[in-house]
């Protein structure tokens, strides 16, 4: 399990996030009313940064869990472990978040095992309860607790998808890539590269995202643009920066890589 807790309640610096709509208001309203929230959108479009930003803005601790194929309900709730020759119960990140009135963020929740949704259901309706079978506890979520989950609809298939009975327990916000002006501002702010040098990177991403002829699962993410711009700002030659931050991460197919290089030559020609 890949889980970490970021206690940002006492920090003055809020992680940078540039809103593109009313998503901040929706999050604040959901939190105030104890409602769970589902974020839908492609990889690298800012979902995780948005949650980090809102947790800091609301002054709540944040537990983030990167979901994967082997993530089970026990990983979230907790388990008995041997410590110093004695058996001791250790809370998982979801249980800690409920106890502390924190925000728990399940990133790519559809990747987790099916038993995870069974645990989430009592937390996503009017009960707001977490049942811990192993200890016999039933925890009532306090007012500060909020459950947030995310997934990428583009990766859904018949074996890995959220059931309607689960989706309809959440408020939902759809995320996409920002408009060019917003994306330029974000990449400039995050990378330190001059705006006039960021603009062609964003233009390149726009072309790739709208092309249907390339055999790509997804287009260039804002995250990859920030990586590329950071390398360029640090002095790496443009061609090499785009090779390692854009072309190689996007595809292993030699012909598709060459098509990307040709497109880069046109954009920067």
Distances 110 to 119, 137, 198, 253 between C-alpha atoms, Å:
14, 27, 34, 27
SS3 call for 86: strand
Choose among 267, 199, 183: nearest CA to 232. Answer: 199
Residue 10 predicted with pLDDT over 50: no
CA distance 162 to 185: 34
- Listed range (30-34, 82-86, 179-183) with the worst mean pLDDT: 82-86
Residue 3 predicted with pLDDT over 90: no
Confidence of residue 250 (pLDDT cuts 50, 70, 90): very high
Residue 11 predicted with pLDDT over 70: no
Instruction: Read off the pLDDT of residues 188-231 as tens digits, 9 standing for 90 and up.
Output: 999 999 999 999 999 999 999 988 556 788 889 999 999 999 99
> CA 92: distance to chain centroid?
20
SS3 call for 56: helix
Burial 233-262 (b: 16+ CB within 10 A, else e): beebeeeebbbebbbebbbeeeebbebbee
- Listed range (30-39, 54-63, 116-125, 236-245) with the worst mean pLDDT: 116-125
| Residues contacting residue 229 through CB under 8 Å, at least 6 positions apart | 187, 188, 190, 191, 192, 193, 197, 198, 201
Instruction: Read off the pLDDT of residues 47-103 as tens digits, 9 standing for 90 and up.
Output: 999 999 999 999 999 999 999 999 999 999 999 998 888 899 999 999 999 999 999
Question: DSSP character for 91?
Answer: E
Residue 2 predicted with pLDDT over 50: no
The average confidence (pLDDT) of the chain is 91
CB 201 within 8 A of CB 228: yes
Question: What residue has token string 């604040």?
Answer: 28
Residue 29 token pair? 């309203």
What would the mean pLDDT of 166-187 be, rounded to a whole number? 95
β-sheet bridge partners, residue 40: 151, 174
Whole-model pTM: value is: 0.88
Share of the chain above pLDDT 70, in %: 92
CA distance 109 to 172: 14
What would the mean pLDDT of 28-33 be, rounded to a whole number? 98
């Amino acid at each position: 399990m890949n889980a970490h807790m970021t206690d940002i309640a006492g920090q003055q610096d809020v992680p940078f996030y540039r809103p593109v709509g009313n998503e901040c208001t929706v999050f604040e309203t959901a939190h105030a009313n104890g409602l769970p929230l589902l974020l839908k959108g492609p990889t690298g479009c800012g979902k995780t940064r948005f949650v980090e930003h809102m947790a800091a803005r609301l002054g709540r601790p944040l537990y983030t869990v990167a979901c994967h194929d082997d993530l089970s309900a026990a990983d979230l709730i907790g388990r008995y472990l041997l410590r110093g020759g004695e058996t001791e119960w250790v809370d998982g990140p979801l249980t800690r978040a409920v106890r502390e009135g924190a925000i728990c963020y399940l990133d790519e929740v559809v990747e987790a095992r099916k038993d995870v949704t069974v645990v989430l259901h009592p937390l996503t309706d009017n009960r707001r309860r977490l049942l811990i079978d192993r200890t016999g506890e039933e925890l009532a979520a306090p007012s500060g607790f909020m459950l947030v989950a995310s997934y990428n609809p583009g990766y859904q298939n018949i074996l890995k998808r959220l059931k309607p009975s689960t989706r309809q327990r959440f408020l939902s916000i759809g995320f996409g890539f920002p408009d060019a002006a917003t994306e330029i501002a974000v990449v400039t702010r995050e990378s330190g590269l001059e705006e006039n040098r960021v603009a062609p990177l964003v233009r390149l991403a726009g072309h790739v995202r709208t092309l249907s002829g390339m055999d790509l699962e997804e287009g260039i993410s804002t995250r990859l643009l920030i990586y590329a711009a950071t390398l360029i700002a640090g002095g790496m030659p443009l061609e090499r920066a785009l090779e390692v931050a854009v072309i190689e991460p996007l595809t292993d197919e030699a012909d598709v890589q060459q098509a990307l290089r040709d497109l880069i030559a046109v954009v920067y020609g």
